[in-house]
Amino acid sequence: MVQDTNTALDRLGSFFPMERETGWDGPMDVRREDERFVVQMDVPGVDPGAVDVSVEDGYLTVRAERSSQREDKDEGWVVRERSHHAVVRRLALDDSVDVDAITADLTDGVLTLTLPLAAGAKPRKVSVAISEGKERELGAGSESRHHHLGDVLRRWKKKVA
């Protein structure tokens, strides 16, 4: 699981809490694909050499700095909002992530981190013994069914009532 360490989502009990150090947010999306998490952060105007991604003590930390090309002269400026900004985002990682296989790519102002699942956290098939002594993989064939927990509970409540 990936946990961000200080956002409103964290306060709501989401598993993506986040930590920010400065006023530049660096928006982030996290999605789970089959055997990995994919994290995408907007870091427009950031030079690839100004991005640092590290993993230490169970945290993946992204540091990015963006600096404007400001002249020292203050003459003539009416509004001057584009300045040096830095962001630090931390994601708490558990044992389900293979930290040695994390990759990062910066393309068109979007930093994409790929966090593969560790071998023990990947989905796997379980063989089920059938009463005739044959084995069948769970989920194989047209007989397999997926049940949503809410549907199962609703059917159970109807039977009980």
Mean pLDDT of 7-30: 52
* pLDDT digit string, tens, across residues 32-58: 998 999 999 998 888 889 999 999 999
Chain mean pLDDT for the chain: 73
Contact status, residue 81 vs residue 55, Cβ threshold 8 Å: no
Q: What percentage of the chain reaches a pLDDT higher than 70?
A: 60
pLDDT given at position 108: 93
pLDDT given at position 104: 96
Task: Report the predicted TM-score, pTM, of the whole model to 2 decimal places.
Answer: 0.59
Task: Collect contacts of 80-85 with beta carbons under 8 A, ≥24 apart.
Answer: 85/22, 85/23, 85/24
Residue 68: pLDDT over 90: no
Mean pLDDT of 92-98: 89
**Adjacent-strand bridge partners of 41:** 28, 111
User: What is the phi/psi pair of residue 90, to 5°?
Assistant: -125, 135
| Higher per-residue pLDDT: 82 or 113 | 113
For residue 38, count other CB atoms closer than 10 A to its CB: 13
Please give the domain boundaries of the chain with CATH numbers for all domains.
2-121 (2.60.40.790)
pLDDT given at position 105: 95
d(CA 64, CA 22): 11
* pLDDT digit string, tens, across residues 127-151: 888 876 555 555 544 444 444 555 5
pLDDT given at position 60: 93
Mean pLDDT of 65-88: 73
